[in-house]
Amino acid sequence: MQVVSNDNDYFMKLYNTLLVLVLSAIALCLSGCFKWAARAKDKLPQETALDKTYSYKGKVIIIGAGASGLAAAKVLEQNNIEYIILEATDRYGGRLKKDTTLADFPIDVGAEWIHSAPITLNKLKGKKGDEIDEELIPYYTENTASWDGENYKVNPSWQNKAMYNFLPESKFKNSTWYDFVNENIAKTVKHKIKFNAPVTEINYTDNTVIVKTENGDSYEADKVIVTVSIGVLKSKKINFIPEMGEKKKKAIESITFHQGFKVAMKFSEKFYPDFVNCKVKSGEKGFYDIAFKKNSQTNILGFLCTGIETQKYYDLNSEQEIISTLLQELDEIFDGKATATYTGDYILENWGQNEFIQGTWTQAIQEKKTHLKILNQSLDNKVYFAGEIYDPYQQMGVPGAILSGYYSIDRLLSDEK
Ligand SMILES: Cc1cc2nc3c(=O)[nH]c(=O)nc-3n(C[C@H](O)[C@H](O)[C@H](O)COP(=O)(O)OP(=O)(O)OC[C@H]3O[C@@H](n4cnc5c(N)ncnc54)[C@H](O)[C@@H]3O)c2cc1C
């Protein structure tokens, strides 16, 4: 009897300890101690290339005019260094894009949320101090639900609060990520972009690097910085001469870069909550109120899908079929209200099948550190890499892309040779 009682004591103690641990974790979450943005803020660099001066005398070619390429260019412009930007498409911004046709506010067609602490915006544009110029919307959604294909479940308010405390994101109130980069970075460098110039070859055999584009043009520089997405590198659209080493190729292949697309649809009534998370096997799928706290008179519902689930929509024959399928899914959740109130207006951006993007976003935090280190290595101190996945400060998305632009151009300008 005595022995049994001791066992009971032991298990009671273990149970109590576990209970305290679980409750403490929930309490910490609720009190905001696990805040992602707060931790990411600690990882921001004290200074970036914007705060330094360089006396580099060579010529630089930047490949890609997305956030990271434009950021690298800003440093070159600031230091009067000779450079050009070769951009495959007829626009700059890459995965940043805005639409002003669908709603009474500008819609982010690509990157939308500010995952980092707001102060990060100052670091990105080289502004000192804690006061930010942008008006932001804290993304604290109080009305969210989940849908597993059969059951619709409203999330309890403690879960919404815990989510916000863990990942306190925000959105621009009257503008977009594209506007932010356009105003603070692209404005002074866009005259140096050569549009419709897809790079097909980078030959770094000799001291001078030779870059060739699809239309047969050839450019020379002392150093090159490649800012195309990891998806474009995986697709082998760019031929490196000599070839990249096996370790580098393996590191590129190892990075997860999900396919995906984004849709914004207009309705005459708002029948949906702030966010509906749809259960999927991999990647993300969700419907969300794009007009959330935007002071808008229009009802714009967003849909974001990445990963394996995307294929189901890619297998459909047209955009119209994708929209019809989404309306059917919404009708199932909201008793036919979607079809009844749909205005027929939408925008759809298929980033995964865009030849010069080939995916959505990467998450460095989920990748092997050794691979990230190899990715960041230059080819013979002549060809450098920048973009969201190369960010050494562990910010997500756009801030990561911009900071990596500053980081890589600093290395390019500082390295010997
Ligand atoms: C749907 C979606 C939602 C997102 N949501 C968020 C979000 O909410 N918050 C966030 O912070 N981030 C988000 N992101 C990620 C964010 O958009 C990216 O991290 C960031 O924009 C990447 O910038 P980049 O300069 O590294 O690459 P890119 O934007 O991909 O720029 C690369 C540029 O290179 C050009 N290019 C490609 N190939 C060639 C070639 N051969 N020759 C010349 N030029 C070439 C491309 O046209 C492009 O302009 C989202 C992305 C997507 C797609």
Q: Which of 389, 402, 401, 396 is nearest to 184 (CA)?
A: 402
Residues 225 and 182 in one domain: yes
pLDDT the model gives residue 107: 98
Residues 243 and 262 in one domain: no
Is the distance from the beta carbon of residue 227 to the nearest atom of ligand 1 less than 6 Å? yes
Q: What is the largest CA-CA distance in the chain?
A: 89
Domain with 329 in it: 141-171+258-360
Q: Which residue, judged by its Cα, is nearest atom 53 of ligand 1?
A: 360
Q: Are 220 and 244 in contact (CB under 8 A)?
A: no
Which ligand 1 atom is the nearest neighbour of the CA of 93? 49
Residues 324 and 408 in one domain: no
- Report CA dihedral (321, 327, 328, 329) to the nearest 10 degrees: 110
Distance 10 CA to ligand 1 centre (A): 55
Residues 23 and 163 in one domain: no
Report the distance separating Cα 181 and Cα 140, nearest Å: 24
Span 278-291, average pLDDT: 93
Q: What is the tens place of the pLDDT at every residue in 156-214?
A: 999 999 989 888 899 999 999 999 999 999 999 999 999 999 999 999 999 999 999 99
Domain count, the chain: 3
Distance 62 CA to ligand 1 centre (A): 15
Report the distance separating Cα 382 and Cα 225, nearest Å: 8
In a domain, 38, yes or no: no
pLDDT the model gives residue 33: 38
Tokens of 403: 């900071």
At 145, the amino acid letter reads: A
Q: Are 53 and 189 in contact (CB under 8 A)?
A: no
Residues 240 and 343 in one domain: no
Distance 357 CA to ligand 1 centre (A): 7
Is the distance from the beta carbon of residue 84 to the nearest atom of ligand 1 less than 6 Å? no
Distance 198 CA to ligand 1 centre (A): 15
Residues 129 and 147 in one domain: no
pLDDT tops 80 at residue 50:
yes
pLDDT the model gives residue 120: 95
Distance 358 CA to ligand 1 centre (A): 10
Q: Are 38 and 119 in contact (CB under 8 A)?
A: no
Residues 216 and 182 in one domain: yes
Looking at the chain, the whole-number percentage of residues with pLDDT higher than 90 is 84
Report the distance separating Cα 94 and Cα 357, nearest Å: 8
pLDDT tops 70 at residue 18:
no
Distance 208 CA to ligand 1 centre (A): 28
Residues 79 and 159 in one domain: no
Is the distance from the beta carbon of residue 302 to the nearest atom of ligand 1 less than 6 Å? no
Which ligand 1 atom is the nearest neighbour of the CA of 396? 11
Tokens of 205: 């055999």
Q: Provide the whole-model pTM.
A: 0.92
Residues 330 and 390 in one domain: no
pLDDT the model gives residue 32: 38
CATH number assigned to the domain comprising residue 104: 3.50.50.60
